[in-house]
Amino acid sequence: MDYKQIVECLICENHYGQNEKFISTCPHCGNDDTKKTIYLSEDSEMLKAYINGEPFTNELVLTK
């Protein structure tokens, strides 16, 4: 499935896709504080890895 945006939960560090419908709660940990989530930018290495189904961690950002 193609997502318009990929959200990272800052509590559990998991990711989930979001289309037109806003998802207010992390499906992984139940975090409902939107101030503790971020959207991955379109040119993000993490987003590219997510789309390609490749494993990635937050350390990927620090090495690029």
Distance (Å) of CA 57 to CA 7, 42, 54: 14, 17, 10
pLDDT of 30 reads 97
pLDDT of 53 reads 79
How large is the average pLDDT for residues 27-38? Answer: 95
CB count within 10 Å of CB 38 equals 12
Residue 61: pLDDT above 90? Answer: no
The pTM score is 0.69
pLDDT tier, 56 (very low <50, low <70, confident <90, very high otherwise): low
